[in-house]
């Protein structure tokens, strides 16, 4: 009840135009305000306790109050424009989107894509329903709903396409479900546009909209924008298309002899798949250019000049711009983020005030806006990003566009929601893989997430399990979102999450590395179980006026 009252105060204050709220709290209530996102601004002499410490017994009786500050803000304008300010139906068609490009670098089984479909929970600030290919743990949505203050009764339809990328087609094959999802009046938000999704959402399908998902087409677009002038801090790396392996070998060998590092890319790829950085040392270690190319995915390759990064490893190297084009063709700017990329592979991203270095912010935003204008003119409607690498000389090199949602876009959505609920200034980090020490029983994994939520809240941070289904793989992991109102606190919260995840897994790991008793290979399908309203994936654990919210789950093709 306190949580609801507090959030109502912030909403009303923001609506009235207040931008600063001071709270003089009883020290025994300090933990509550800290968990709600208020920032402790008391000095040690004023409060009798340092930030993060527990009050002494009887402190309240001495009248020593703890001062907190919070900055109430309404939901960001871009977030209201994204879904019209209302709830939306989120369709986790990640595998479906990837499969339409038939690229050899993409996971043919789409196992990873089905895991990343769990990010559908965060496609917009307020989901009305989630449509997912794989079953998800029952308590997952309840935990997210409490943290993000979702309306009671978020409906979850999971287990629809466990072994097939065609999620939209799986929905259309169930006419009652399709009618329910499309008949609410809420917009349908996918990971990315596909022909089956267009049929489901009853929108025109123009495959040419997605032409700049191609890395070579995006490179050509960047060149045309730069040819018009106006972006002096942007540099474009040279790129050559190698239609045969022999052509790629010759180009790589020539650059290696010249002492140059080279980036080899497939035409399409996600999360860095299909992108390989080859230094001269790596080429020689592989046994030469021919051997190095032989190990790469089949299909045409793009050979690209390698952009050397900043000499200081603490300086951000990989940056991204996010925006979207609305149905009317207007480009909305979301912002810039810093990505965590290792050896060409994406591992996560951080968004928040000041994460993009000052020297890079304006060039990044200006070029991102220019790309968005071109995408709009080409007929594209939806979310997009532009990825950059910093060259160490005060310039940014654009490397690709993504015409879909991504990990950074999810972080932006969560940051906007938390700013609205907890006050402005949130940093949000999405970590693609938080390793678990062992596969956990489903109940133990739920307990881990609840415990991490409490531990982070006590620090003034937020923990959200973003990808729970990876926890039931043979090599278990989970995707996670952490948020805080300071960079140091954000780093500390991530350390807590990673350490606790490994420690809990170690409790279940056996000395010989065998699967612990009671563990499961994945979240089990509930299609054959008797319906239990308290165990439904879509049931909100919170009660309102003594009645439980109604919700639905669809698992293995049967509605319960």
Q: What CATH number should be reported for the domain holding residue 325?
A: 3.30.470.20
Same-domain check for residues 326 and 470: no
Q: What is the pLDDT of residue 254?
A: 95
The answer to whether 355 touches 434, Cβ cutoff 8 Å, is no
Q: How far apart are CA 50 and CA 55, in angstroms?
A: 9
3-class secondary structure for 134-202? CCCCCCHHHHHHHHHCCCCCCEEECCCCCCCCCHHHHHHCCHHHHHHHHCCCCCEEECCCCHHHHHHHC
Q: Tell me the per-residue pLDDT of 309-341, one tens digit each, with 9 for 90 and over.
A: 887 888 899 999 999 999 999 999 999 999 998
Q: Within a domain: residue 199?
A: no
Place of tokens 């609506």: 15
Which residues, 6+ apart, have CB-to-CB distance to 123 below 8 Å? Answer: 88, 90, 189, 191, 405, 410, 413
Same-domain check for residues 301 and 315: no
Q: What is the pLDDT of residue 507?
A: 74
Quote helix, strand, coil % in the chain, to nearest 5: 40, 20, 40
Q: What is the pLDDT of residue 272?
A: 62
Q: Within a domain: residue 369?
A: yes
Q: How far apart are CA 173 and CA 131, in angstroms?
A: 14
Same-domain check for residues 228 and 325: yes
Q: What is the pLDDT of residue 42?
A: 72
Place of tokens 């109502």: 8
**Helices and strands: H and E segment counts in the chain:** 18, 23
Q: Where does a domain end: 278, 305, 332?
A: 305
Same-domain check for residues 229 and 317: yes
Same-domain check for residues 280 and 347: no
The tokens for 351 are 């968004």
The answer to whether 483 touches 429, Cβ cutoff 8 Å, is yes
Range of the domain at 56: 2-70
Q: What single DSSP character describes residue 522? A: S
Q: What single DSSP character describes residue 234? A: B
Q: Which of 524, 536, 414 is nearest to 469 (CA)?
A: 524
Same-domain check for residues 321 and 391: yes
Same-domain check for residues 438 and 500: yes
Q: What is the pLDDT of residue 55?
A: 43
The dihedrals phi and psi of 490, each to the nearest 5 degrees, come to -60, -45
The reported pTM is 0.86
Torsion from C-alpha of 123, 129, 135, 136, nearest 10 degrees: 60
Q: What is the pLDDT of residue 62?
A: 57
Q: Where does a domain end: 402, 417, 448?
A: 402
Q: What is the pLDDT of residue 110?
A: 54
Q: What is the pLDDT of residue 504?
A: 83
Same-domain check for residues 257 and 216: no
Q: Which of the residues in the chain have pLDDT under 50?
A: 44-61, 104-105, 511-512, 514-560
Q: How many domains does the chain have?
A: 4
Q: What is the pLDDT of residue 54?
A: 45
Same-domain check for residues 344 and 478: no
Q: What is the pLDDT of residue 77?
A: 96
Same-domain check for residues 314 and 219: yes
Same-domain check for residues 328 and 300: no
Q: What is the pLDDT of residue 269?
A: 79
């Amino acid at each position: 009840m306190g949580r609801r009252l507090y959030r109502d105060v912030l909403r009303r204050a923001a609506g009235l135009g207040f931008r600063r709220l001071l709270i003089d709290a009883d020290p025994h209530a300090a933990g509550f305000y800290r968990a709600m996102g208020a920032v402790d601004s008391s000095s040690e002499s004023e409060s009798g306790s340092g930030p993060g410490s527990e009050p002494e017994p009887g402190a309240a009786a001495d009248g020593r109050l703890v001062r907190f500050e919070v900055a109430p803000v309404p939901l960001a304008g871009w977030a209201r424009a994204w879904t019209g300010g209302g709830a939306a139906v989120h369709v986790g068609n990640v595998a479906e989107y990837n499969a339409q490009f038939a690229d050899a670098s993409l996971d043919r089984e789409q196992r990873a894509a089905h895991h990343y479909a769990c990010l559908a929970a965060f496609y917009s600030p307020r989901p009305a329903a989630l449509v997912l290919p794989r079953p998800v743990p029952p308590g997952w949505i309840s935990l997210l709903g409490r943290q993000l203050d979702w309306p009671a009764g978020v409906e979850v339809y999971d287990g629809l396409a466990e072994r097939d990328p065609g999620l939209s087609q799986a929905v259309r094959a169930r006419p009652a479900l399709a009618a329910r999802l499309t008949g609410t009046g809420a917009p349908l938000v996918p990971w990315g546009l596909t022909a089956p999704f267009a049929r489901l959402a009853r929108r025109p399908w123009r495959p040419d909209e997605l032409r700049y998902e191609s890395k070579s087409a995006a490179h050509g677009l960047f060149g045309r924008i730069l040819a018009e002038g106006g972006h002096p801090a942007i540099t474009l790396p040279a790129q050559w298309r190698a239609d045969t392996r022999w052509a790629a070998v010759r180009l790589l060998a020539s650059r290696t002899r010249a002492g140059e590092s080279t980036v080899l890319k497939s035409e399409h790829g996600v999360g860095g798949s299909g992108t390989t950085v080859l230094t001269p040392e790596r080429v020689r270690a592989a046994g030469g250019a021919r051997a190095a190319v032989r190990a790469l995915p089949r299909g045409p390759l793009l050979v690209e000049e390698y952009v050397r990064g900043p000499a200081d490893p603490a300086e951000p190297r990989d940056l991204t711009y996010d925006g979207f084009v609305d149905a009317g063709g207007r480009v909305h700017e979301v912002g810039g983020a810093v990505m965590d990329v290792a050896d060409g592979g994406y591992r996560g991203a951080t968004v928040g005030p000041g994460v993009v270095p000052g020297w890079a912010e304006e060039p990044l935003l200006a070029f991102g806006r220019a790309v968005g204008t071109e995408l709009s003119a080409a007929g594209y409607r939806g979310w997009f990003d532009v990825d950059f690498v910093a060259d160490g000389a005060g310039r940014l090199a654009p490397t690709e566009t993504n015409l879909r949602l991504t990990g950074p876009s999810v972080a932006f959505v969560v940051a906007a929601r938390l700013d609205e609920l907890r006050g402005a200034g949130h940093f949000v980090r999405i970590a693609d893989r938080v390793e678990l020490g062992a596969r956990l029983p489903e109940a133990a994994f739920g307990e881990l997430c609840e415990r991490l939520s409490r531990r982070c809240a006590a620090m003034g941070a937020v923990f959200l399990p973003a990808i729970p289904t990876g926890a039931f793989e043979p090599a278990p992991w989970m995707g996670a979102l952490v948020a805080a109102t300071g960079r140091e606190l954000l780093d500390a919260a991530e350390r807590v999450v990673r350490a606790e995840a490994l420690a809990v897994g170690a409790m279940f790991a056996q000395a010989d590395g065998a699967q612990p008793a009671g563990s499961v290979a994945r979240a089990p399908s509930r299609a054959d179980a008797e319906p239990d309203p308290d165990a439904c994936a879509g049931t909100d654990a919170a009660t309102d006026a003594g009645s439980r919210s109604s919700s639905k789950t669809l698992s293995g093709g049967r509605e319960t």
